Structure 1
């Protein structure tokens, strides 16, 4: 019995970590979240776990039938997780928010609280019950509680390892949720089997657990979990043709098809549109800095290169080598899986070298120097992207530029009005660039403000007449960046 109970406690810790990470990831997709969203979600999880532990668990402790209570709560916990995953995916429809629309602080707070409520509360209630069970069967006093902590901690650590290396790469959310439910009821059956002869209640609990195990097995091995997965995706992305939906260790990637266009979403945020990108943006983002440089030969693109940017760079006859660093290998894998003439041309061109690694890490490790470095991350909204908008990063980029080289970054902007947040953001980045580079040139734009930074004074004197002459001399054909639009 001691070993059985120890395994049950270990699985409790394992299940708590996996359930937490699963719902956290699903909610971040809905919220297009950053660290603030993560903080709110985790705070709700901890509050609800504490509530379940203190109120439900303590009340259940006074019940003489701790084992039966533990069994019932485990069953409810197992059922609540797949249900929470489904309601998370239809959450935007429930609260009336469309795809791509940001979710505010209050909706994140109350909706994540309600989604997490059953799973967190039931899991929190299990811990004091495990402590009571261990004390009851082994009568070790306070030391038994310490052993429960050890078992639970080992299970949590194991859950983190399994989540990272086995669950995320190979299973989708419903497979994980159903498999976790099956694991819990299987352990429950093994735990209760020892008490088969004690009464009708235990027999009923074992029978229900066995049915749940059988049902979970059917869902996993007969395609039921896959059908639930597809139905929930259709409900989540209503009126959109989702051709691929997959998690990587870095986030969720969803590929939507609209006519002949593919839109790649990363955690609910559109990252790439192909084969017809935002022509005005990519032409401005690429040609302004490359035309301001007298002879751009070696270029580095840190994220956001596929889908237009590399294609525009290749129009410059001086470009001899283009290095494109992208963090998530799955993102590039899916671009190749759903090819368009544009992306196929970009990623297979002999001048293009693709690096599957973090852009900042690559810049730190490379010994090469570049004429132009383009940062394709345009909105410093979380810690991952903020790393590319710091004084330290700008200093690193400066060291990797050739004489007269240009660093290019973009920020959210407008030609008509900047609210206080955008004004402060643009001012902050401009001043930080000025503390590193002697010359910084800003090109305001509708949607994106472009910042060119260099040691060369030429970017400050570069004007419309020179741009038109360079376009003509280099034989570059453009659609939007023409004289009458500049």
Structure 2
């Protein structure tokens, strides 16, 4: 049984877990939005988060010498409540203050910027974990590190559930952070109260109420966004399950952003006409048209210039449709238009319709979620829904008059992938480079086709478009990419990998040198670990790698991960809690079991690819897909929780030392897994091979642990 004092600490640990989980999800989203992020940015943020928390956990053992730990815990808990608000505001405020408006953010700037901003919060949360382990274990006169670990996990579960099913739907970012502040300040006040510091507790409670009222009655979100979108009027902003939507206004033009990426702008006549007419004029008589994204921008009006029978417009996020219809007036009330709020790949798997023209108006595949529309599997599935002479259009960033090595590789990979599915593929250069594909003949003579079809346009016509110049520029691009025959797949996202290299090339970064710089320090750390902490390092590496693979695989299969990312993290924490608090009671505490858990992690990792490949056949079953991912991540969480608890029971030392070294080893492994998997392993090897590699590493680690501890 716990005393009232011990219960106050227990509640603080639960609040610690709640706060760290919600803050992590919010900060991940905010960094992605501000840095126009992709999976590499996620890896950097998570790696920095875990590195800094590991540092705080390790340093925390030196605070064990402090007699009155309340003097550390109470101020730390207060800071944990206040810091997330400050950090998120600084992310918005400093972006354009430190970096010129419109400048691409380099990898170095993202790494250093996130490291500095995350440092106070992560360091304090790490220190608190070690202090809580030491303090409660001393009060109970026994090692209860695994229980502290579990309570923190249970707090994280609560935080994840509240955030994913309440905060994201009903509250703005700073409102959510204000609730976190309130919980932490009240938790600190509760500790003061149980230690008979009642006056201080009452004062802190009064300050908490005043701060809460102040923050909730001021629109901090809009103020922060105004700093980020400088010289633009913020018209609308909302967090949705599919992404963060912001709409700004410059003069009479509305600009739509999703997760910080410019999706489209209203009244961009050149873009609207190129998106539509390059492909539409290729078909003799287009009747059924599929538009994937971009209809709000004005492309619907251009498509309706043809004598079509039906136009199916697929946009996954209904909020884009609602706000677009309200602001632009581009969504006409026409019985031929059918708006479908669904992921395009899921729609194609379910629909019985077939199409004459398919227009794919998406940004470049700078992340895995977008890459899934540029893969062999997608084009093969799309072709099943096409009529015999159908035409599809998809585009990449324009190369203008020069095709760089990196841009050439991206274009060549898309070209080769399309050629495996369609007989004819041509590239039409414009504001973007448009890849037109069909089993029928295709023509470069765009302006001539526009005349023959009597289509009224403002830009795509003989006055602005020279058919001869288009043909020459197209052949130059096609000649520049003719020697590259690599293919882009769902589970091996080559174009995404090449996009990363293209991005890094802007700043003169060497992709492989970057890998060595990251890998060598951690290799040194691994060799300095004792065998138990080595096992935890491998477990942390594996858990974070598998978690990221599952997040990306969900994107590939189901189409969006903005909400599911938080759900996956939540159920991983649920697994940690079950493994560290309940299952640890059912197993023997010895080194052999420790090695067996390592084998089990390896076996599960090797089996997951079979499950993922099988899930592609159930793309239309939302329940099956969600349940499978939840079960997989919970299993990994359970094994990780059991392994951590075993490690803390097998070590013999001071409680603070055991807690600090065990948790920091786990977190260091997680940091390496997050960074290596997103930056190198997944882009280079693909999801399936990464899982197989993680499985092999765990089996080898299990053998090493067994051999090193066979006499213990």
Cα distance in 1 between the residues matched to 2:231 and 2:436? 40
TM-score after normalising by structure 1: 0.90
Cα distance in 2 between the residues matched to 1:168 and 1:231? 19
1:199 counterpart residue number = none
**Does the 8 Å contact 1:169/1:247 carry over to 2?**
yes
Cα distance in 2 between the residues matched to 1:389 and 1:483? 31
**Does the 8 Å contact 1:71/1:205 carry over to 2?**
no
Inter-CA distance 284–234: structure 2 relative to 1 (3 Å threshold): closer
1:369 counterpart residue number = 354
SS of aligned partner of 1:450:
strand
CA distances 1:284-310 after superposition (whole Å, capped 9, x unpaired): 221121111111111111112221211
The alpha carbon displacement at 1:220 in A equals: 4.7
More helix by share: 2
2:63 counterpart residue number = 60
Superposed counterparts of 1:80-479, under 5 Å = 80-98=83-101, 100-139=102-141, 141-142=142-143, 144-196=144-196, 202-203=197-198, 205-207=200-202, 209-221=204-216, 223-224=217-218, 226=219, 228-274=220-266, 276-277=267-268, 279-317=269-307, 319-338=308-327, 340-341=328-329, 343-345=330-332, 348-445=333-430, 447-456=431-440, 458-459=441-442, 461=443, 463-464=445-446, 467-472=449-454, 476-479=455-458
The alpha carbon displacement at 1:205 in A equals: 4.8
377-386 vs 246-255, greater mean Cα deviation: 246-255
The alpha carbon displacement at 1:469 in A equals: 4.2
Question: Which of these residues, 20, 27, 30, is aligned with residue 24 of structure 2?
Answer: 20
CA distances 1:110-145 after superposition (whole Å, capped 9, x unpaired): 111111111111112111121122213222x22x11
Inter-CA distance 337–137: structure 2 relative to 1 (3 Å threshold): farther
SS of aligned partner of 1:123:
helix
Cα distance in 1 between the residues matched to 2:87 and 2:444? 56
Cα distance in 1 between the residues matched to 2:119 and 2:53? 9
SS of aligned partner of 1:90:
helix
SS of aligned partner of 2:373:
helix
The alpha carbon displacement at 1:462 in A equals: 6.2
How many residue pairs are counted as aligned between the two chains? 461
The alpha carbon displacement at 1:91 in A equals: 2.1
SS of aligned partner of 2:296:
coil
Cα distance in 2 between the residues matched to 1:130 and 1:105? 36
Cα distance in 1 between the residues matched to 2:221 and 2:37? 22
Inter-CA distance 415–79: structure 2 relative to 1 (3 Å threshold): closer
4-13 vs 290-299, greater mean Cα deviation: 4-13
1:483 counterpart residue number = 462
**Does the 8 Å contact 1:30/1:91 carry over to 2?**
no
Cα distance in 1 between the residues matched to 2:203 and 2:105? 40
Cα distance in 2 between the residues matched to 1:465 and 1:168? 48
More strand by share: 1
SS of aligned partner of 1:324:
strand
CA distances 1:335-384 after superposition (whole Å, capped 9, x unpaired): 1332x33x142xx3221111111112111221211111111113010011
1:77 counterpart residue number = 80
SS of aligned partner of 2:297:
coil
